[in-house]
A and B are shown apart, each in its own frame.
Chain A
Amino acid sequence: MHSFATIEEFARFDTVAFYTVKGEENTLSETENFLERMKKKAVYAEQLDELISWLKIIGNDKRGAVFSVFRSERVCVALPPKSKYLDKAIDLRLYCHWVSKNVVILFNGGIKTASKAQDCPNVSHHFYNAQSWTKQLTEIGIETEGPEITNIEELTIKY
């Protein structure tokens, strides 16, 4: 039997509002769960700080969340911004659903250790959830006005 999840605001900046998914029985949202798990991994502290900074800077930039800078991950997208051949490998992945330049829904993620997310024991679960949630949200239809999701109460998804 499925439980359900709702969408709630995660962080709001001048141009972009980031939302997240929260399971009805959970204390933490999906993205908070991601942050809590990742901050315990000291070796990834720098990557995590850069990702957090990126959310703030893009959130306050007049251009907003430009779609082309996100990584394409089948039906959803991911952060950090794409950089296929970085000198240093960026292993952190935060899956998300890009709705508009003003609205992005952040999901969960982890440290990607395989070339394909589907093959990675750390992120495959989050990858598949992100695909499923993106499809469900697209089917329901997210209505926005700038950074506001105006039908947020209708966005209940299978968790």
Chain B
Amino acid sequence: MASKIFAEMLAKVDPETTQYVKKNVAISYQVRDILDNHPSINSQKALAEALGKEPSEISKWLSGLHNIGLENITKMEVALGQDIILTDEQAREKYGKASKESYREFQTIHCAGKADQSDLAGEVVKKREIFLNHTDQEEKGISELAY
């Protein structure tokens, strides 16, 4: 770390504070990602309208330094029609079971040695993201991406 003063202060930050900020930033980005891909609610303003809130209130929730609270997260999940946070068990249940078929397809596409390895690294990340956001339409997308 170039600044010793900053490094020392960073080392002294309470782990709870770091975890709190980390969770808030993660939730904030997750909501932003959902908005980027949502068919109808695709802006903070639209989300605010769906929730009957002021856009400034949503901006506050998504600042990454605000205690959003489970109640508000739940409101956003209902408005957006999808989960924002999942426990490990819920995530396995949602993506593990439902995606066995597409996962096999994913493996077939990327383990068949058809692509140059250097190209594969970026593609794997991309496809893994598709896999993790599994829907029928995206599953079709995975099929279409077969060489």
Contacts and interface: CB of A to CB of B under 8 A. Distances in A.
A11 B1 contact: yes
A11 B6 contact: yes
A35 interface: yes
A56 B57 CA distance: 25
Interface stretch (A44-52, A122-130, A133-141): A44-52
Contacts of B2: 8-12
A8 B66 CA distance: 31
Interface in B5-22: 5-7, 9-10, 13-14, 17-18, 20-22
Contacts, number: 90
Given A49-B13, A80-B65, A29 B3 contact: yes
Contact of A53 (B18, B57, B66): B18
Nearest to A39: B9
Given A56-B18, A57-B25, A50 B65 contact: yes
Interface of A: 8-12, 20, 28-29, 31-32, 35-36, 39, 46, 48-50, 52-58, 61, 63, 69, 80-87, 90
16 contacts: A11-B1, A32-B6, A35-B5, A49-B17, A50-B17, A50-B20, A52-B10, A54-B21, A58-B25, A80-B65, A83-B59, A83-B63, A84-B60, A85-B54, A86-B65, A86-B66
Interface of B: 1-3, 5-7, 9-10, 13-14, 17-18, 20-22, 25, 28-29, 54, 56-57, 59-60, 63-66
